[in-house]
């Protein structure tokens, strides 16, 4: 457990907490970007360079921008006067705390079974690319079709006007 891990873990958890707790929705989106960056740095700390940079490109570069666009298009940046949490927030918090208790208990209980350390895997991006077009070519093609369908679907859903006059 190195010092770097503690710093990155604190950054990630603080970003996630801020993304969930802040009142202003735009601030939430920015805190979400911090949490995504912390997770990408954790990936890099785990010697998963490709996944780390894919995380930065996809989440910080695309998903966070999409969230900010959606907030601005829906005027979600106006903080509601009657609170940002649902009426049933206590039940939601209890469920989340119970889930964390079970997950944390499972991790602590199995601490002795987990491998103590492992040699750093030497996986190059070339190997990942060859695996993607070799063993994993079918999932890759399905993901390509899924992404195309999702993008077309999102555009069609979002551009349809209620008064029956599509742009």
Kindly identify the residues of this chain, within the stretch 56-95, that bind another protein according to CB under 8 A.
Answer: 58-59, 62-63, 66-67, 69-71, 73-74, 76, 80, 83-89, 91-93, 95
Q: Is position 41 an interface residue for another protein (rule: CB under 8 A)? A: no
Contact 67, 29 (CB under 8 A): yes
The CB-side HSE value for 153 (13 A sphere, CA atoms) comes to 6
Distance of closest approach, residue 76 Cβ to another protein, in angstroms = 5
CA dist 125 and 123 (Å) reads: 7
Crossing angle of helices 3-21 and 25-45, in 10° steps, is 160
Q: Say whether 164 sits in a helix, a strand or coil.
A: coil
Size of the site for another protein (CB under 8 A): 84
Residue 138 interacts with another protein (CB under 8 A): yes or no: no
Q: Does 125 bind another protein (CB under 8 A)?
A: no
Q: How far is the CB of 140 from another protein (least distance, A)?
A: 8
């Amino acid at each position: 457990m190195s010092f770097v891990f503690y710093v990155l873990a604190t950054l990630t958890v603080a970003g996630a907490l801020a993304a969930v707790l802040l009142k202003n929705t735009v601030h939430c989106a920015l805190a979400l970007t911090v949490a995504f960056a912390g997770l990408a740095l954790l990936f890099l700390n785990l010697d998963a360079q490709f996944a780390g940079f894919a995380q930065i490109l996809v989440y910080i570069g695309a998903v966070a921008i999409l969230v900010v666009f959606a907030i601005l298009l829906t005027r979600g940046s106006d903080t509601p006067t009657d609170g940002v949490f649902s009426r049933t927030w206590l039940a939601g918090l209890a469920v989340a705390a119970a889930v964390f208790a079970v997950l944390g208990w499972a991790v602590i209980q199995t601490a002795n079974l987990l491998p103590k350390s492992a040699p750093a895997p030497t996986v190059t991006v070339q190997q990942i690319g060859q695996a993607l077009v070799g063993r994993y070519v079918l999932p890759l093609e399905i993901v390509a079709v899924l992404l195309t369908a999702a993008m077309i679907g999102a555009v069609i859903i979002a551009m349809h006007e209620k008064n029956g006059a599509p742009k």
